[in-house]
Amino acid sequence: MKCPRCRSTHIHKNGKQRGKQNYICVKCSRQFIDFYEPKGYSQEIKRECLEMYVNGSGFRTIERVKKVHHTTVINWVKELGNTLPDTPEQDEIPEITQIDELETFIGKKKQNLVVDSSE
Protein backbone atom coordinates (compact mmCIF):
# COMPACT_ATOMS: atom_id res chain seq x y z
CA MET A 1 0.00 0.00 0.00
CA LYS A 2 1.44 3.34 -1.08
CA CYS A 3 0.18 6.87 -1.13
CA PRO A 4 -1.05 7.71 -4.64
CA ARG A 5 0.37 11.21 -4.33
CA CYS A 6 3.81 10.92 -2.72
CA ARG A 7 4.44 7.14 -2.88
CA SER A 8 5.05 7.00 0.84
CA THR A 9 4.31 3.67 2.46
CA HIS A 10 3.63 5.41 5.75
CA ILE A 11 -0.13 4.94 5.60
CA HIS A 12 -2.65 4.83 8.40
CA LYS A 13 -6.15 3.45 8.30
CA ASN A 14 -8.72 6.21 8.46
CA GLY A 15 -12.08 4.54 8.97
CA LYS A 16 -14.38 3.28 6.26
CA GLN A 17 -16.32 5.02 3.56
CA ARG A 18 -19.23 3.28 1.85
CA GLY A 19 -17.88 -0.05 3.04
CA LYS A 20 -14.40 0.57 1.65
CA GLN A 21 -11.33 1.03 3.74
CA ASN A 22 -10.22 4.63 3.84
CA TYR A 23 -6.56 5.54 4.35
CA ILE A 24 -4.60 8.62 5.14
CA CYS A 25 -0.98 9.30 4.23
CA VAL A 26 1.01 10.35 7.26
CA LYS A 27 3.52 12.19 5.12
CA CYS A 28 1.32 14.37 2.91
CA SER A 29 -2.11 13.91 4.58
CA ARG A 30 -3.64 12.69 1.34
CA GLN A 31 -6.75 10.61 2.01
CA PHE A 32 -7.67 7.83 -0.31
CA ILE A 33 -9.81 4.73 -0.59
CA ASP A 34 -8.18 1.33 -0.90
CA PHE A 35 -7.43 1.62 -4.60
CA TYR A 36 -5.52 -1.63 -4.86
CA GLU A 37 -8.36 -3.73 -6.19
CA PRO A 38 -7.47 -7.44 -6.27
CA LYS A 39 -7.96 -7.58 -10.01
CA GLY A 40 -6.23 -4.39 -11.00
CA TYR A 41 -3.49 -1.92 -10.41
CA SER A 42 -3.44 1.84 -10.53
CA GLN A 43 -2.46 3.56 -13.75
CA GLU A 44 0.60 4.80 -11.93
CA ILE A 45 1.88 1.33 -11.11
CA LYS A 46 1.15 0.25 -14.64
CA ARG A 47 3.10 3.12 -16.10
CA GLU A 48 6.04 2.51 -13.81
CA CYS A 49 6.16 -1.14 -14.82
CA LEU A 50 6.00 -0.22 -18.48
CA GLU A 51 8.74 2.34 -18.03
CA MET A 52 10.91 -0.30 -16.40
CA TYR A 53 10.25 -2.60 -19.33
CA VAL A 54 11.07 0.10 -21.86
CA ASN A 55 14.27 0.82 -19.98
CA GLY A 56 15.36 -2.77 -20.35
CA SER A 57 14.17 -4.48 -17.18
CA GLY A 58 13.06 -8.08 -17.47
CA PHE A 59 9.57 -9.14 -16.46
CA ARG A 60 10.90 -11.06 -13.46
CA THR A 61 12.80 -7.99 -12.32
CA ILE A 62 9.69 -5.87 -12.63
CA GLU A 63 7.75 -8.49 -10.71
CA ARG A 64 10.29 -8.45 -7.89
CA VAL A 65 10.52 -4.67 -7.72
CA LYS A 66 6.92 -3.66 -8.31
CA LYS A 67 5.19 -6.72 -6.86
CA VAL A 68 3.19 -7.07 -10.04
CA HIS A 69 2.92 -10.55 -11.51
CA HIS A 70 5.01 -10.83 -14.68
CA THR A 71 2.09 -12.05 -16.78
CA THR A 72 0.21 -8.89 -15.81
CA VAL A 73 3.16 -6.83 -16.99
CA ILE A 74 3.35 -8.83 -20.21
CA ASN A 75 -0.32 -8.10 -20.81
CA TRP A 76 0.30 -4.41 -20.26
CA VAL A 77 3.22 -4.44 -22.67
CA LYS A 78 1.06 -6.13 -25.30
CA GLU A 79 -1.65 -3.60 -24.63
CA LEU A 80 0.91 -0.85 -25.00
CA GLY A 81 1.91 -2.23 -28.35
CA ASN A 82 -1.68 -1.96 -29.49
CA THR A 83 -2.67 1.39 -28.09
CA LEU A 84 0.47 3.30 -27.10
CA PRO A 85 -0.99 5.26 -24.20
CA ASP A 86 0.45 8.54 -23.06
CA THR A 87 3.77 7.74 -21.46
CA PRO A 88 6.39 10.43 -21.04
CA GLU A 89 8.93 8.49 -23.10
CA GLN A 90 6.63 7.50 -25.88
CA ASP A 91 9.15 8.41 -28.57
CA GLU A 92 11.62 5.91 -27.19
CA ILE A 93 9.28 2.95 -27.31
CA PRO A 94 10.22 0.69 -30.17
CA GLU A 95 7.11 -0.47 -31.96
CA ILE A 96 6.69 -3.60 -34.08
CA THR A 97 10.08 -5.23 -33.52
CA GLN A 98 9.73 -4.98 -29.76
CA ILE A 99 6.37 -6.72 -29.80
CA ASP A 100 7.77 -9.47 -32.05
CA GLU A 101 10.57 -10.02 -29.61
CA LEU A 102 8.10 -10.01 -26.78
CA GLU A 103 5.96 -12.67 -28.40
CA THR A 104 9.01 -14.82 -29.02
CA PHE A 105 9.90 -14.39 -25.39
CA ILE A 106 6.41 -15.32 -24.24
CA GLY A 107 6.40 -18.34 -26.55
CA LYS A 108 9.62 -19.65 -25.03
CA LYS A 109 8.30 -19.07 -21.55
CA LYS A 110 5.15 -21.00 -22.31
CA GLN A 111 7.17 -23.92 -23.66
CA ASN A 112 9.30 -23.91 -20.55
CA LEU A 113 6.22 -23.91 -18.38
CA VAL A 114 4.77 -26.93 -20.20
CA VAL A 115 8.03 -28.83 -19.81
CA ASP A 116 8.28 -27.88 -16.15
CA SER A 117 4.81 -29.06 -15.30
CA SER A 118 5.05 -32.38 -17.15
CA GLU A 119 8.22 -33.48 -15.43
Please give the C-alpha separations between residue 45 and each of 40, 60, 83, 95, 101, in angstroms, as whole numbers. 10, 16, 18, 22, 23
Judged by beta carbon, residue 43 or residue 112, the one nearer Zn ion is: 43
Stretch that binds Zn ion, among 25-33, 67-75, 85-93, 107-115 (CB under 5 A): 25-33
Stretch that binds Zn ion, among 1-9, 31-39, 73-81, 86-94 (CB under 5 A): 1-9
Give the x/- contact pattern for Zn ion in 30-69, rule: CB under 5 A: x---------------------------------------
Judge contact between 36 and 58, C-beta under 8 A. Answer: no
**Which residue, 72, 71, 66, is CA-closest to 106?**
71
Judge contact between 45 and 68, C-beta under 8 A. Answer: yes
Binding residues for Zn ion (CB under 5 A) = 3, 5-6, 8, 25, 27-28, 30
